[in-house]
A and B are shown apart, each in its own frame.
Chain A
Amino acid sequence: EVQLVQSGAEVKKPGESLKISCKGSGYNFPNYWIGWVRQMPGKGLEWMGIIYAGGSDTRYSPSFQGQVTISADKSISTAYLQWSSLKASDTAMYYCARQAGYCGGGNCYLDYWGQGTLVTVSS
């Protein structure tokens, strides 16, 4: 059974750094891309970026380029999303999901999702 298990909720202050995780199991982790999606309170889904779990190839949405860093460690089947300096506007639920299809070929969909990590940034 494919599963993506995310790290727990975080409460941080503005300016602090943070790294949240997403551990995959039940499939060959390095063979797939992992995507991250933001959902701000009461709002819709926003595609942040994806990483090839077997290497370092990463693609970011222009809206998130330079704001976050996506990484992965295939040896422990885990992907990460990190911030160097959080802002109150980063308060949101963050989902990781397995990217199926091949985005470069225009076939880009997220077939399995993690449970989400709630990040709250408040002074």
Chain B
Amino acid sequence: QSVLTQPPSVSAAPGQKVTISCSGSSSNIENNYVSWYQQLPGTAPKLLIYENNKRPSGIPDRFSGSKSGTSVTLGITGLQTGDEADYYCGTWDSSLSAGVFGGGTKLTVL
């Protein structure tokens, strides 16, 4: 059971928009910054979003992050088949004094 809760899977058609939610609590998401990671099949995770809504260099603006209270959302617009991957949210948990991840969400682009 992960500290952060994500839906196991989402799907959408190419060109469409999808959102992935991640919910937590006051000890993690609400009072700390959240990051998102993309893991393409058979590869290492890659940083997608940091500090709730910032994109590292090279990440297209099709990817966006937002936060409200104890939940965050990753948005992906203009879906491409190459976006099929597992997506994870992550943050610091002040009660555990440790980093935590969500259980991951598998994105299928139909």
Contacts and interface: CB of A to CB of B under 8 A. Distances in A.
B110 interface: no
Contact of A109 (B51, B96, B97, B102): B51
B32 interface: yes
Contacts of A49: 98
Interface stretch (A66-74, A79-87, A111-119): A111-119
Interface string A22-50: 00000000000001010000001111011
B45 A45 contact: yes
B45 A108 contact: no
A59 to B, nearest CB: 7
B98 A95 contact: no
B90 interface: yes
Contacts of A60: 98
A47 B101 contact: yes
Contacts, number: 80
Secondary structure type dominating chain B contacts: strand
A38 B12 CA distance: 29
A116 B88 CA distance: 17
Contact of A111 (B39, B50, B102, B103): B50
Contact of A59 (B46, B98, B100): B98
B44 A114 contact: yes
Given A110-B37, A113-B46, A116-B44, A44 B101 contact: yes
Interface in A75-123: 95, 97, 100-101, 103, 106-116
Interface in B31-88: 31-33, 35, 37, 39, 44-47, 50-51, 56, 86, 88
Interface of A: 35, 37, 44-47, 49-50, 59-62, 95, 97, 100-101, 103, 106-116
Given A45-B45, A45-B101, A109-B51, 4 more contacts: A44-B2, A47-B99, A50-B99, A106-B32
14 contacts: A44-B86, A44-B103, A47-B100, A101-B50, A106-B32, A106-B33, A107-B51, A108-B33, A108-B90, A108-B91, A109-B47, A109-B50, A110-B45, A113-B44
